[in-house]
Structure 1
Amino acid sequence: MTAAETAPEAAPVTTETGTRPQDPPVLVAATVGEVTAVWQVEVDARVVLGEFSGAWLVDADGIRGFAADADWIDQRASRDGMLELLLARPTVVVGEGGEPLSGDAARDSFGLPADTAGALQTVDVAATVAAASSCVDGNKAAFAEANPGKRQPGWAGAWADADLTPQPGRAPEGITGDAAEAVVRAMAAARGLRDLVQSWNALDKLRVQRLGGELRALPLVMN
């Protein structure tokens, strides 16, 4: 397992159309018992195509791994404190098989105090996919208006009915019990999110090529 500190502010990224902050990563979290695995997925198409950039494992004693000895991390021995710190960005919460949870089921899965759980930014995956899919029709309409009678680009082919489909795997060697199951769930969903992000980035790059404008991040919808 690796651990990294998340920068409080994203670095600016220079593009052909100027400079704007890097789109923040999206987290994937799964809890089994008192163990929560968190994966971080980059979503900014100008930097990478949905690559993993961090992973953490938190149990009843706080964060595990070398970060447990990092005296610069406040509350590293507190499960609730570490989860509040780590889950400060939009989070896809998953359950058995890496399937996304929504609404109260997502917030309640961590077993956090009500005020902390209520402040979490949990992603409604189904609504997010629907919002992204609707952009196919929006792109078609915009292209038809700008280019009457011209053949449409391959919007549907770029998107290809994308979804967040968990991709099962095995836990790293040495991780067992609830921790192993939490890791397996989080990794499966993180792989699925990576593919969803790649599909969105392909669609949006096509939009920029044919219609202009700046690249946009996957349109997340919160619970």
Structure 2
Amino acid sequence: MAEEVKLYRTWSSPFGLRVVWALNIKHIEYETILEDLTNKSPHLLHYNPVHKKIPVLLHNGKPICESLVILEYIEETWQNNPLLPQHSLDRAQSRFWAKFCEDKLLPSIRSSYFMKGKEQEEGVVEALDNLKLIEEQLDGKMFFGGDNIGFLDIVLGWLANLPSVFEEITGLKLIDAEKFPVLSEWIENFYNHPAIVDHWPPRDKMITKFQAILNAIEANK
């Protein structure tokens, strides 16, 4: 009996893209259901009644929610092309830095681009400090997972796309080859990896979307 794998996501969400990348690296066939979060489908509300958001992975009729939880589920369910390191300490470190990304790095990047005045200044300082900590984790490796893309690469994959979109909109550049040579090389390697490169959302649509968001934020201030 064939497995049923469906992914509920939006066209632009970096959290949904994490699941896309993991499934592609694992060579898992799946069906994509694109959601409009301004008009959520009954299926999405049924499968994620707590948070009512994407992504949701549906495996043989059973829903799994939250991108990091979904990545762990994919790793445990399909053993080929492992995403997490073999040794327990290394696995714990990957999970630690994934949580750092969610709790510290991502909010500081958002503040840098979508806040103004003192909040933005503080966001930039924090973001640069956080990016430095992340760069140190590469430690001469091609990917955070070593020679191959792993769990932490997927969690941080949005760094290869979103900051450059925000930069084009705002003119603020956080990541460049002079300040972050190792991280910049990782961005190039990750962005163009065969399992990744064909799944980026259209850049022109991304710029239009986030320009509208920024305009709305500024209009409400």
Same fold (TM over 0.5): no
Q: Which has the higher strand share?
A: 1
Q: TM-score range by the shorter chain?
A: under 0.3
| Structure number with larger C-alpha Rg | 1
Q: Which has the higher helix share?
A: 2
TM-score calculated relative to the size of structure 2: 0.26
